């Protein structure tokens, strides 16, 4: 996987790096990748493929409940592996398991993504218009994504892991979403994650850390 640089996406990511809304802060980041294997991608890809095949074999041998259909399809397994390779490049210190992670991916469409974006990014979109009067944030996002991955050709996936399996999770998170826009023909993926964090929780956490530092040098 190779990180791709696109100025329109960088512009949106820069804006979303820290949108202060008083008691809350919205954060977001767009990362485009080529699906072409680089470095250790081939080895990791093979490891993930073997992990899935082992899981399917054991499920069949034990007559347990049938695995998700797309794990049985080679093309769909390849898509899952690309998604996991993307996550691995974003969080190289985190160990992503194909068998555990597949349950956290859900196929979406532009309308379902737009509904979530309109609902949760409403205030951030208002902030965008105050400094970027050329077009609304969602329209700008669509144009930027379309330039990279051709939205109408994309498979869109949401990634909703449990908190302990989410490397992005941080204290005070009010909500968090992670989408992948994958163009099979162009062999490109754009990751878009956005979240909202309570500033009050962050301040409270900082105060607790400061209290700990005060007591660190004292005999109890």
Lowest-confidence segment of 16-20, 87-91, 151-155, 164-168 by average pLDDT: 164-168
Quick one: tokens of 10? 């960088």
What's the whole-number mean pLDDT along residues 15-43? 93
The answer as to whether 220 is a domain residue is no
Count of domains for the chain: 1
Q: pLDDT band at residue 59, thresholds of 50, 70 and 90?
A: low
Query: Rounded mean pLDDT of the chain?
Result: 85
75: containing domain: 2-176+184-215
Query: Residue 217 and residue 220: Cα distance in Å, rounded?
Result: 9
The answer as to whether 90 is a domain residue is yes
Q: Which of 84, 42, 64, 57 is nearest to 182 (CA)?
A: 84
The answer as to whether 19 is a domain residue is yes
Query: Residue 121 and residue 129: Cα distance in Å, rounded?
Result: 12
Question: In this model, does residue 2 exceed pLDDT 60?
Answer: yes
**pLDDT 10s digits, 179-213:** 999 999 999 999 999 999 999 875 555 444 444 55
The answer as to whether 190 is a domain residue is yes
Are the CB atoms for 80 and 98 separated by under 8 Å?
Answer: yes
The answer as to whether 67 is a domain residue is yes
Question: In this model, does residue 51 exceed pLDDT 90?
Answer: no
Query: Residue 41 and residue 36: Cα distance in Å, rounded?
Result: 9
Query: Residue 145 and residue 167: Cα distance in Å, rounded?
Result: 24
Q: pLDDT band at residue 68, thresholds of 50, 70 and 90?
A: low
What's the whole-number mean pLDDT along residues 45-70? 71
What are the phi and psi torsion angles at 52 (to 5°)? Answer: -65, -45
Query: Residue 190 and residue 207: Cα distance in Å, rounded?
Result: 37
Question: In this model, does residue 61 exceed pLDDT 90?
Answer: no
Higher-pLDDT residue of 83 and 73 is 83
What's the whole-number mean pLDDT along residues 71-81? 84
CATH number at residue 149: 3.40.1000.50
Q: Count H helices, E strands: the chain?
A: 9, 7
């Amino acid at each position: 996987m190779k990180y791709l640089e696109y100025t329109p996406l960088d512009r949106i990511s820069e804006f979303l790096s820290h949108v202060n809304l008083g008691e809350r802060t919205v954060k977001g980041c767009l990362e485009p990748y080529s699906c072409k294997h680089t470095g250790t991608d081939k080895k990791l890809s093979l490891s993930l493929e073997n992990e899935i095949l082992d899981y399917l074999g054991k499920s069949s041998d034990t007559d347990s409940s049938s695995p998700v259909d797309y794990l049985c399809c080679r093309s769909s397994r390849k898509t899952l592996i690309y998604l996991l390779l993307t996550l691995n490049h974003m969080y190289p210190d985190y160990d992503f398991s194909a068998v555990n992670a597949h349950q956290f991916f859900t196929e979406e469409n532009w309308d379902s993504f737009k509904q979530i974006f309109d609902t949760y990014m409403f205030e951030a979109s208002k902030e965008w218009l105050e400094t970027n009067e050329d077009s609304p944030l969602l329209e700008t996002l669509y144009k930027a994504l379309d330039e990279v991955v051709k939205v109408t050709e994309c498979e869109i996936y949401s990634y909703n892991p449990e908190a302990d399996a989410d490397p992005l999770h941080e204290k005070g998170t009010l909500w968090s979403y992670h989408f992948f826009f994958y163009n099979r023909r162009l062999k490109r993926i754009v990751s878009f994650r956005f979240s909202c964090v309570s500033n009050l929780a962050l301040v409270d956490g900082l105060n607790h850390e400061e209290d700990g530092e005060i007591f660190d040098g004292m005999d109890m």
